[in-house]
A = this chain, B = another copy of it.
Amino acid sequence: MSFNEVPRIVENGRIGQVDATKIPRYAGLGTFARLPEIDDVSDVDIALLGIPFDTGVSYRPGARFGPGHVRQSSRLLRPYNPAVDVSPFARHQVADAGDLGVNPFDLEEAIRDIEHGSRALHERAKRIISIGGDHTIALPLLRTMAAKHGPISVIHFDAHLDTWDTYFGAAYTHGTPFRRASEEGLIDRDGSMHVGVRGPLYSKKDLSDDADLGFDIFSATEFDYLGFAGAIERIAARVENRPVYVSIDIDVLDPAHAPGTGTPEAGGITSRELLGIIRSFKNLNLVGADVVEVAPAYDHAEITGIAAAHVIYELLSAM
């Protein structure tokens, strides 16, 4: 073997992961799951896009290091997913599109950067899973989605509603993307919901505003009574056969499962519950997704990164 030959698994004509029986998993420049870079493949079905940006964060910053951390934490992923009997990298051509270069000093320009970048990528890739970055990025990503699909269903996993209005006069932060998206008509108000919401709010009006913006809520406390099977049922009933965008703030997980995030709230769901719900999405029409708010400086032993990587793997399997 030459000094830098990279043997890859190829299945169904799709170029997959670096072959771990020949190159150890800890070796090599790390794309997501050691998949090919986008310029090394053609006909991309699903692209993974890093969006290292955290200027919209209101508390602990650091999600700008999220994409690299999630990639590093994804090295153990293997090709076959027995939970849903799918080999996602053989069924779709998946590729890592690298990171968008986003302006860290100007929120509005950053949002434009992300909108343009994701639109450009869509010309190369049928679907995109974005890796944040903070939740601000969901707004430009939804603009790109809506430009393609019209107002779409959003399934939003989060400890928080993210439908607040302004913060320090700023309309665009990680607490407001879904209000802005609803106001801009990007969201299907009959098919959208939050899952895993918990913790205190500013006021009771947050809830009525949120409903007016078109969101249903399956809160974390409902998991106690209905389990994640209940969540699956409610999501399916809400979404029906609409095109769906899934936006996952990693803080939907309990801080025990995801310490590495910016605004943690006790009483969250487990990684087993979250993965179980996502597996049910194979029955939905997923047109895009993001996984956001991984803040590596607060992570330990990559447990948050690994949870995010598995979430992305299940999203890929469900697509």
- Chain A positions within 8 Å of B, measured between CB atoms, are 1-4, 6, 21-31, 37-39, 49-50, 52, 54-62, 64-65, 67-68, 71-72, 75-83, 85, 87, 96-107, 109, 116-118, 120-121, 124, 166-170, 173, 198-204, 206-207, 219-221, 223-224, 228, 254-257, 259-260, 263-273, 275-276, 279, 297-303, 306-307, 309-311, 313
Given A26-B64, A266-B271: 6 more A-B contacts, CB < 8 Å:
A3-B100, A28-B99, A56-B105, A104-B168, A254-B272, A265-B310
Within the assembled complex, what's the spacing in Å between the Cα atoms of A199 and B310?
8
Which of B4, B83, B169 is the one whose CB lies under 8 Å from A97?
Answer: B4
Residue with the highest number of chain B CB atoms closer than 10 Å, among A207, A220, A254: A254
Residues of B within 8 A of A87 (CB): 203-204
Q: Is B297 a contact of A300 with CB atoms below 8 Å? A: no
Say whether A97 contacts B3, CB under 8 Å.
yes
Q: A38-B4, A120-B2, A297-B60 are in contact. Are A200 and B81 (CB under 8 A)?
A: yes
Contact partners of A76 in chain B: CB under 8 A: 59, 199, 263-265
B59 touches A61 (CB 8 A): no
Partner of A266, one of B55, B109, B121, B275: B275
